[in-house]
Structure 1
Amino acid sequence: MEEESGTDKPALVTDQTESDLSAAADAEDQEEKEELSEFLVHWQGPEGDEEGPLSVLWKLIESYRVDIFEISIHRITEDFLSFMHAARDLRVSLASSFTVMAARLIYYKSKALLPDPGFEDTEEDSHLPPELIQQLLEYRRFQMASETLREMDDLSSGIFGRPDSAMPEPEEGEERMLEVSLVDLIQAYHKVLKRLEPEAEDDGYEITGEEWSVDLKMEEIRLLLQDAISFTFDDLFENIEQMKKGEVIAMFLAILELTRLSEIVLQQDKIFGQILIFKRAATIS
Structure 2
Amino acid sequence: MEKLTEQYLARLDKMKEENLAVAGEFLVMAATLLYLKSRTLLPVQDRPPEEVEEEDPKWELIRQLIEYRKFKDAAGQLGDREALHSKIFGRTPERVAAPPGMMGPGNVSMFDLVWAFQKVLRGVEERARAGRFVEEEFTVGQKIEFLLDRVPIGEEVPFEDLFRTMSSRGEVVVTFLALLELIRLRQLMARQEGPLKPIFIQRAPEGGWPAPVLDEGEQGDETGQPAGESPA
TM range (shorter): 0.3 to 0.5
Q: Which has the higher relative contact order, 1 or 2, with Cα contacts under 8 A spaced 6 or more apart? A: 1
> TM-score under structure 2 normalisation?
0.40
Higher helix share: 1
> TM-score under structure 1 normalisation?
0.33
Report the structure number with the largest CA radius of gyration: 2
